[in-house]
Amino acid sequence: MNNFKARTSSWIYAFASLSVALTSYFFVQAVLINHAPPPNFLQLSPGHTILSVNIFAHVVAFLVWDQVSTSLEALRWALASRPEQGLSLGSFLALSRAVGPTGVISLMLLPRSGGQLFYCLKRYVF
């Protein structure tokens, strides 16, 4: 039952992230891109319009970053708890959000016994 609750909250969080992203897209489309005048409730001063777009962009970036970070954390523990082979310590550490960029670079330079290079590169790509 606890696993069901965790997945439900993840889907709700993902839906909220998508809702904020779509709202910001339609706001920018209506206010900045469309040549027709925006609706009355969206007519803001130029400073407030830019502030609103900036806030939307920051909120969307934070929500997407948090979703990716949470997904990597779930992947890390799912791979580590596999009954047949588990996960090497280097890969486990590479997927951790507690390890900073210099730690990930040092893990890349270690002799590889598993797929830790893949997970180190994945941290920098995403």
The model's pLDDT over 3-58, given as tens digits with 9 standing for 90+, comes to: 666 678 778 888 989 999 999 999 999 988 888 888 888 888 889 999 999 999 99
The domain locations on the chain are 1-65
Q: How far apart are CA 87 and CA 89, in angstroms?
A: 6
Tokens representing 95 are 């997927």
Q: Read off the pTM.
A: 0.67
Sign of CA dihedral 100, 103, 109, 113: negative
The per-residue pLDDT for 12 is 84
Q: At what angle do helices 116-125 and 101-109 cross, to 10 degrees?
A: 150
pLDDT band, residue 115 (cuts 50/70/90): low
